[in-house]
Amino acid sequence: MAPTVTDATGQPGANGSAGASGTAAASGTTGTAASAGASAQAGAGAQAGTSGQAGATTRTVTELADGRELIYYDRGTPPTARAVADLRPLDAVAPSSEVRQDPMTGAWVTVAAHRQARTYHPPADECPLCPSREGRLSEIPAGDYQVAVFENRFPSLAGEPGTHPVPPALDDPLHSRGPGIGRCEVVCFTADHDASFADLDEDHARLVLDAWTDRTAELSALPGVRQVYCFENRGTEIGVTLAHPHGQVYALPFVPPRTAKMIDRAARYRAATGRNLFDDLVAAERASVGSGSVASASADSPAGNSPSDYPEDSRVVLAGEHWTAFVPFAARWPYEVHLFPNRRVSDFTGLNEDERAEFPRIYLDLLRRFDRLFGDGERQVRAPYIAAWHQAPAGHEDELALHLELFTVRRTADKLKYLAGTESGMEAFMNDVAPEFAARRLREVGQAPAAVSTPETAPDTTPDTTAEEAQR
């Protein structure tokens, strides 16, 4: 299989041909990527660079004025030069954070005091994620881009992963701490400030998938990185401080609490049954759909096109040929959907071409359903959401399954779910919406005719203004 992502110089990604399974994307070290970028820039290689085939994803690695890495991802050959120099007079930020372990629960907490100075709700004409234009230079020097990834200027975790033992074993078991080593990247999904992920077309959503895959391959290869976490926060209700459609990638030096619990549960399940927890989970949910529907699902006609394909109490929202989306049995949030590839893989790099090809349609469909949950036909109330991609940490690739956990904090058009006494105090969720009801709703809104947002017909509202209006 060809590498997922090819460098714009025409060379396959550093490790593109080295993946034993043939699924590896570019996964060079930070050092090689940066130097490759510099040379591409100098020789205008990016401009002339071409990997040829239409539809393939290329990347152009460059550097910002303060030394941070910036990578452009393009479907096909970039239409314009990507390796544009960053002319801002930026001082390098020296982030200093540390990780501390809660001795009572074992959970790691990152303390990053320098982040207090970060950009907070800038006006739209000062958006740091829009392309640069004359007189206004942003984090993206190019005048346009498809998908761009750069190192966060105010990262929670920074430094060269692996330069310290992480987390260090200390003699004092009550005060385990270590440097907050890792990497935090920003993924700009599109140059269009007013769009949302759900407004992207399928080819563009595929490009984001390729970027996630490439970042996963590259960052997980860094020494000291335990897990690569790709996620998107959308909406001011979630705490988003930049309206521009973007997500983030964290290369974590520890295994976060939710993942640690899953590792434990999967091990117990394996010991009790001899089987994989995630395999059985996905199979059980799919079994709730009439076998005819799932069996006949295909790229052109997925099950889920008609709510009548499903029994009332099924929690499945979408059953594709390669992906299944369902509301979990013990959902924590009013509307929560888990999306799994039907064939278990440990992370993005394990997906095959068929799974990659089907992904954009399924994922965009899901996001658009979320956006239809709370509107009333007249008014579109976009759902604030968190899209959290779970990938196996280093050493747990055999049991943990790549999957998305997508959820909204909105309960109704006018009500938000707040994490209060039981949730924040005890991590015990109280959910007011029955998972089976949520699944029915999400199936029903699949066909709402007027609400499908395509780039051509996207409503002229940003998530943030919509959310603000909704709260007035």
Which CB atom, from 99 or from 208, has the smaller least distance to Zn ion?
Answer: 208
Q: Residue 91 class from Cβ within 10 Å (0-12 exposed, 13-18 middle, 19+ buried)?
A: exposed
* Best CA proximity match to 74, nearest among 203, 234, 166: 203
Give CA–CA dist 165/163, Å, rounded. Answer: 7
- According to CB under 5 A, which one of 8, 56, 71, 127 is a site residue for Zn ion? 127
Q: Is 447 helix (H, G, I), strand (E, B) or coil?
A: helix
**52 neighbors 43 (Cβ within 8 angstroms):** no
**Region of 121-129, 264-272, 354-362, 383-391 interacting with Zn ion (CB under 5 A):** 121-129
Q: Is 415 helix (H, G, I), strand (E, B) or coil?
A: strand
Give CA–CA dist 385/364, Å, rounded. Answer: 14
**Region of 52-60, 120-128, 196-204, 332-340 interacting with Zn ion (CB under 5 A):** 120-128
The 229-268 contact track toward Zn ion, x by CB under 5 A, reads ---------------x------------------------
Which residues have CB under 8 Å from 67's CB, separation 6+?
A: 92
Q: What is the DSSP letter of 299?
A: S
Which CB atom, from 185 or from 399, has the smaller least distance to Zn ion?
Answer: 185
> Could you say whether residue 193 binds Zn ion (CB under 5 A)?
yes
Size of the site for Zn ion (CB under 5 A): 5
> Could you say whether residue 465 binds Zn ion (CB under 5 A)?
no
Shortest Å, Cβ 86 to Zn ion = 17
Shortest Å, Cβ 194 to Zn ion = 8
Shortest Å, Cβ 1 to Zn ion = 35
**Region of 76-84, 122-130, 245-253, 324-332 interacting with Zn ion (CB under 5 A):** 122-130
> Could you say whether residue 188 binds Zn ion (CB under 5 A)?
no
Annotated catalytic residue within 246, 322, 338, 390: 246
Concatenating the DSSP letter of every residue in 175-230 gives S-EEE-BSEEEEEE--S-TT--GGGS-HHHHHHHHHHHHHHHHHHHTSTT--EEEE
- According to CB under 5 A, which one of 26, 71, 130, 362 is a site residue for Zn ion? 130
Which CB atom, from 148 or from 445, has the smaller least distance to Zn ion?
Answer: 148
> Could you say whether residue 129 binds Zn ion (CB under 5 A)?
yes
* Best CA proximity match to 234, nearest among 372, 383, 100: 383
Length of the chain measured in residues: 472
> Could you say whether residue 402 binds Zn ion (CB under 5 A)?
no
Q: Active-site residue 338, yes or no?
A: no
Shortest Å, Cβ 241 to Zn ion = 12
Which CB atom, from 206 or from 244, has the smaller least distance to Zn ion?
Answer: 244
Q: How far is CA 305 from CA 31, 302, 308, 372, in A?
A: 47, 6, 9, 15
Give CA–CA dist 189/205, Å, rounded. Answer: 8
Which CB atom, from 190 or from 346, has the smaller least distance to Zn ion?
Answer: 190
Which CB atom, from 127 or from 438, has the smaller least distance to Zn ion?
Answer: 127
**Could you list the residues that contact Zn ion (CB under 5 A)?**
127, 129-130, 193, 244
Provide the annotated active-site residues. 246
